[in-house]
A and B are shown apart, each in its own frame.
Chain A
Amino acid sequence: MQPKKTMVWDLPIRLFHWMMVLAFTLAWATHEDSRHLDIHTISGYTFFGLLLFRLIWGVVGSHYARFSEFSYAPSEVLLYLRSLLGSGVKHYIGHNPAGAWAIFILLTLGLLLAITGVIVLGGEEQQGLLAGYISFDQSAPFSMLHEALAWSMVVLIVVHVSGVLIESLLHRENLIGAMFRGTKWIAGQSAQVPTHHLVASVLLVSVITWGAISLNGYVNATDEKPYQPFKGPSLAMNELWNEECGACHLAFHPSLLPARSWQRLFKQQEDHFQEDLMLDEETLAELMAYASDNAAEHKQTEAAWKINRSIKKEQSPLRVTSVEYWKEKHSNVAEAVWKQETVKSKTNCGACHFDAEQGTFQDSAMKIPE
């Protein structure tokens, strides 16, 4: 029988596959730099949504998209893998047993990855679906898990792509092309697969709409009023603090240092970085009270939590720039950036952080001036 060009992968499956590739790549590329946390989050949610769609489509989708079509017993996988070494490799129209298992593992890893992502976002950033339900400390192990899952996913992707290449060579069949066109050349019987244009359109339009809504804030952003994707908590402000501290430098929010640091700093107020503050008793008392009520150990922000975590109990640093966490976070900032006219000093937080005065120091709320 002559091979016939036959539809195997319906359009929703193909769109799902390639949008998944895009979402994962984007999330991977933006995971390291806090400046891009919003893009990481948007692609993460997209990834999550696509996975949920895939779960539904695995039950109600067209023939080769259904999980039941490609659930093979482990013994069949072994049999298939062994046959790869011999000559009589069986040809599957949809997923072969090894490929099918890779798909199931990928889907499982993906789901766990998305779920841990939402947990970390809720805990570490106090943002997203779970904001307010998880504490900073509770989210810490999930952060490591999230990263481990992402790496496992990368390994599985390598396995998946290698499998596709090997099978393409073995069967002299372009499987990558098939994931674009949806068709394969098949001799003999195969199931009828409709394109499912409507479902595909809904899927595509949903993702595009979601992306557009999520990125809308950037449209109206200006240099003076840059877009801040994540809003931090409203931290307590103190007029006297802003007036006294803010006269000479940024009025660093008390959450940037532990209470013992502030106590030490005020105790030696006559030698405050070579200046005498000359604060009277009354002023001093109010400033001290505000500082200890809002110091880093109260963990009001992610920065406060991480700063406090990185300072040893017996230490009481006077500069946030001498704190380990600060140093590590700024280690990638080039020397030339600090020397710029608009930056000049490492204490000039507001040169890059839009929300320095509010003390929230949110991810994505920063831009290195050019």
Chain B
Amino acid sequence: MNKKVLMTLAVVGMLVINVEAYAGEVELLQAEYQKQGAGPFNAAAGEKMWRQQYIDKKSGKQRSCQTCHGEDLTKSGKHARTGKVIDPLARSVNSERLTKVKFMKKWLKRNCKWTIGRECSAQEKGDFLGYLKGL
């Protein structure tokens, strides 16, 4: 084999490993949720919860994930209170999404609390991830 072929193989190999590592973060977190007792994850259930409207007890206003993230996850959303732009959630347009376990954990926790008014169960969080990783 000549040098060029070797180099190409090396680059492709690195890319594959990288992509695997990227994809792996979501699965890693899902596995963690399964250890906490969750069953197989259901993207459709995640999507349904994502679109559902919840009533905030304090303000009486309707809230859903779409309040801030918008209806189309391939587009930017807007923070409900500050108006700050939130980058698209869909991995197809924003490769930075779902790449850090710590980040995903934090926001699943915080945003469940704000939107639904309670922390989500391991099953629910895993379902959300199942829905989001397919976008």
Interface set of A (CB-CB < 8 Å, partner B)? 246-250, 273, 275-278, 344-345, 347-348
Q: With contacts defined as CB atoms under 8 Å apart, how many contacts are there between chain A and chain B in the complex?
A: 29
Whether A248 lies near B114 (C-beta < 8 A) is no
Contacts of B110 in A (CB 8 A): 275-278
Contacts of A345 in B (CB 8 A): 81-83
CA distance A298 to B104 in the complex (A): 36
Contacts of A347 in B (CB 8 A): 82
Contacts of A248 in B (CB 8 A): 79, 81-82, 84
Whether B84 lies near A250 (C-beta < 8 A) is yes
B59-96 CB contacts (< 8 Å) to partner A: 79, 81-84, 86
The answer to whether the Cβ of B48 comes within 8 Å of any Cβ in the partner chain is no
Whether A276 lies near B82 (C-beta < 8 A) is no
| 5 A-B residue pairs with CB within 8 Å | A249-B84, A250-B84, A345-B81, A345-B82, A347-B82
Query: Does more than half of chain B's interface fall in helix, strand or loop, or is it mixed?
Result: mixed
Whether B109 lies near A278 (C-beta < 8 A) is yes
Whether B82 lies near A275 (C-beta < 8 A) is no
Whether B106 lies near A278 (C-beta < 8 A) is yes
Nearest-Cβ distance from residue B103 to partner chain A, whole angstroms = 9
B32-79 CB contacts (< 8 Å) to partner A: 79
Contacts of A277 in B (CB 8 A): 110
Whether A348 lies near B106 (C-beta < 8 A) is no
Whether A275 lies near B84 (C-beta < 8 A) is no
Nearest-Cβ distance from residue B23 to partner chain A, whole angstroms = 23
CA distance A13 to B114 in the complex (A): 72
Nearest-Cβ distance from residue B68 to partner chain A, whole angstroms = 9
Nearest-Cβ distance from residue B111 to partner chain A, whole angstroms = 10
Given known contacts A246-B84, A345-B82, A347-B82, what 16 new A-B pairs fall within 8 Å (CB)?
A: A247-B84, A247-B86, A248-B82, A248-B84, A249-B79, A250-B82, A250-B84, A273-B81, A276-B113, A277-B110, A278-B109, A344-B83, A345-B81, A348-B82, A348-B83, A348-B84
Query: Does more than half of chain A's interface fall in helix, strand or loop, or is it mixed?
Result: loop
B87's nearest neighbour on chain A, judged by CB, is: A247
CA distance A248 to B77 in the complex (A): 11
A275's nearest neighbour on chain B, judged by CB, is: B114
Nearest-Cβ distance from residue A334 to partner chain B, whole angstroms = 19
A277's nearest neighbour on chain B, judged by CB, is: B110
CA distance A249 to B80 in the complex (A): 11
CA distance A347 to B79 in the complex (A): 13
Contacts of B113 in A (CB 8 A): 276
Contacts of A250 in B (CB 8 A): 82, 84
Contacts of A273 in B (CB 8 A): 81
CA distance A66 to B22 in the complex (A): 81
Contacts of B114 in A (CB 8 A): 275
CA distance A57 to B65 in the complex (A): 74
A342's nearest neighbour on chain B, judged by CB, is: B83
Nearest-Cβ distance from residue B36 to partner chain A, whole angstroms = 18
0/1 string, B84-128, CB within 8 A of A gives 1 = 101000000000000000000010011001100000000000000
CA distance A276 to B118 in the complex (A): 12
Contacts of A275 in B (CB 8 A): 110, 114
CA distance A273 to B110 in the complex (A): 14
Contacts of A276 in B (CB 8 A): 110, 113
CA distance A273 to B81 in the complex (A): 10
Nearest-Cβ distance from residue B34 to partner chain A, whole angstroms = 23
Nearest-Cβ distance from residue B60 to partner chain A, whole angstroms = 15
CA distance A248 to B114 in the complex (A): 13
Residue among B83, B110, B113 with the most chain A CB within 10 A?
B83
- For the complex of A and B, list the 10 residue pairs with the smallest distance between their C-beta atoms, beginning with the closest: A249-B82, A344-B83, A249-B84, A248-B79, A345-B83, A345-B82, A278-B110, A248-B82, A248-B84, A348-B83
CA distance A278 to B86 in the complex (A): 19
Residue among B81, B84, B110, B114 with the most chain A CB within 10 A?
B84
Contacts of B82 in A (CB 8 A): 248-250, 345, 347-348
CA distance A276 to B109 in the complex (A): 10
A246's nearest neighbour on chain B, judged by CB, is: B84
B106's nearest neighbour on chain A, judged by CB, is: A278
Nearest-Cβ distance from residue B20 to partner chain A, whole angstroms = 25
Nearest-Cβ distance from residue A345 to partner chain B, whole angstroms = 5
CA distance A277 to B86 in the complex (A): 17
